[in-house]
Amino acid sequence: MTALLQISERRVADVTILRLAGRLELDDGDTVLRDHVNRLVEEGRINLVLDLAEVIRLDSAGIGMLVGKYLTVRKRGGSIRLLHLTDRTNRLLRITRLDSVFDIFDDETEAVQSFGVTA
């Protein structure tokens, strides 16, 4: 059974929180995330928190998409913060040394406040 990536969205001030659930991997999730973030960037919503607590699988395509969207948002003057990493996702980001690229949080309020916003 394939658990396609689902994204729910909400805002706190000018920060958009995306709750990802399912598989962030080739074909199933990477294009879903790409399209969603691209739409937000076109709308000028460039301060993003990605909540990964319910991501059940992450592969190299998913990691590549996270990096690609990080760069897209940075070029527009924004940033992506990661929230609630699973043990496996945390391990993958450490192995690839992306834990030094992304700001990673365990607390949503702290992630939102890192943009200079009062949550």
Residues constituting the chain: 119
Residue 69: HSE in the Cβ half-sphere, 13 Å Cα cutoff = 28
Burial 69-85, CB ≥16 within 10 A → b, else e:
bbebbeeeebbbbbbbb
Strand partners, 18: 9, 50
pLDDT on residue 3: 67
Mean pLDDT, residues 26-49 taken together: 91
Domain boundary assignment for the chain? 18-113
Percent of the chain's residues with pLDDT above 90: 80
77 three-state secondary structure: coil
C-alpha atoms less than 13 angstroms from C-alpha of 61 in its C-beta half-sphere: 13
Torsion angles phi and psi, residue 84, rounded to 5: 55, 60
For range 90-104, the mean pLDDT: 93
> For residue 53, what are its two tokens?
């607590």
> In the chain, what percentage of residues exceed pLDDT 70?
96
So what's the pLDDT on residue 119? 58
How far is Cα 27 from Cα 3, in angstroms, rounded to an integer?
12
Predicted confidence band at 1 (pLDDT cuts at 50, 70, 90)? very low
Asked if 67 contacts 34 with a C-beta cutoff of 8 angstroms, the reply is: no
* CATH number for the segment(s) 18-113: 3.30.750.24
> pLDDT band at residue 96, thresholds of 50, 70 and 90?
very high
Residue 7 and residue 13 in contact, taking contact as beta carbons nearer than 8 Å = no
Mean pLDDT computed over 68-77: 95
pLDDT tens for 11-31 read 999 999 999 999 988 876 778
Q: pLDDT at position 53, please?
A: 96
